Amino acid sequence: MLEKYTEQINNQIDVYLKTLPDSGIYLPFKYIMNLGGKRFRPSLLLLATELFNGSTKEAIHPAIGIEVFHNFSLVHDDIMDDAPLRRGKSPVHLKWDLNMGILSGDVMFAQANSLIASCYPHHLKQVVRLYNQTAIEVCEGQDLDMEFETRDNVSLENYIEMIRLKTAVLVACALKIGAIIGDADSNDAALIYDFGINLGIAFQIHDDILDLYGDQKVFGKQIGGDIVEGKHSVLLITAKAQANKQQLVKITELLKNSDLSNEEKVKEVSFIYNQLNVKNLASILQNDYYNKALNAVEGLTISTKNKNILYSFAENLMKREV
């Protein structure tokens, strides 16, 4: 249902990238942008703009800015996670080197700021303030994610706050920028932001599930990567909460065992996850946030037809395999 926006975004990204040099730090910039991706964040910005009868002409550059910012965060996340794959291809820091990954990410961040600030003057203050706050929160979320790597006592509440910051706020930001450009009132802008927050949390929980239970050829990333990295995903946190003492000791031993191959580690840990019904429990949590997102849509003062567009998008997102 976002196809028309996705096509528009892709076309405008192609136009934008052609304005950048074909050398130096712009080569990895163009590389990561051309690896594809779902483009659903910028598409949501355009969708929200139209839901509130705003101008997509005004919204298109901020939408591209959201996508550039998202990809900037992926470049730097891949460095911090030492990720072997990004969308089925080599991440920037492996295709080039660490320094190029850092610097190209930096220029992407700066370019994103310029694109976001290209909205009309009467919307500029609200849009830039929201975007800057979101950028801060995304960094705070990544900081929490890294902090969790050295902690054994990450609670489900800690985890939800981390993914709210790292993932959900950017989805919510895209939607609210579209609402601002569409001159939505403050209540509708807040509700569509809440829709984005809750859908973003559900999205990330689903992503954690796909990390282990998805098809690598479809998913585009290493299956079981969170186990290999010892990340506190929703699956690991749920497993620890459900495990008996023997299972908890076994999970801890497996995650710390450097003698096991990645494949063996994923196989052994996932076996315990399956015993503990972790996938189903995580799916229940995902659905809780999904339903909160739908409740936010119900309160919007837009037509039933437009509400159904948001319902349909949310439903399709929760069925995704990539």
Q: Tell me the CA end-to-end span of the chain in Å, nearest whole number.
A: 16
pLDDT at 222: 63
d(CA 311, CA 179): 17
Q: How far are the Cα atoms of 47, 118, 301 from residue 50, in angstroms, in the given order? A: 5, 18, 14
Decide: 43 and 2 in contact? Cβ < 8 Å: yes
Question: CATH number for the domain including 306?
Answer: 1.10.600.10
How many structural domains are present in the chain? 1
Torsion of CA 38, 44, 45, 46, to 10 degrees: 100
Q: For residue 222, give both structure tokens.
A: 């290493």
CA R_g for the chain: 20
d(CA 292, CA 273): 27
**Domain hosting residue 62, numbered range:** 3-318
129: Cβ–Cβ under 8 A, 6 or more apart, which residues?
none
* pTM across the whole model: 0.90
- Digit-by-digit pLDDT tens for the chain (322 residues) are 788 899 999 999 999 999 999 999 999 999 999 998 889 899 999 999 999 999 999 999 999 999 999 999 999 999 998 888 788 789 999 999 999 999 999 999 999 999 999 999 999 999 999 999 999 999 999 999 889 888 888 999 999 999 999 999 999 999 999 999 999 999 999 999 999 999 999 999 999 999 998 765 655 556 888 898 888 999 999 999 999 999 999 999 999 998 999 999 999 999 999 999 999 999 999 999 999 999 999 999 999 999 999 999 999 888 876 5
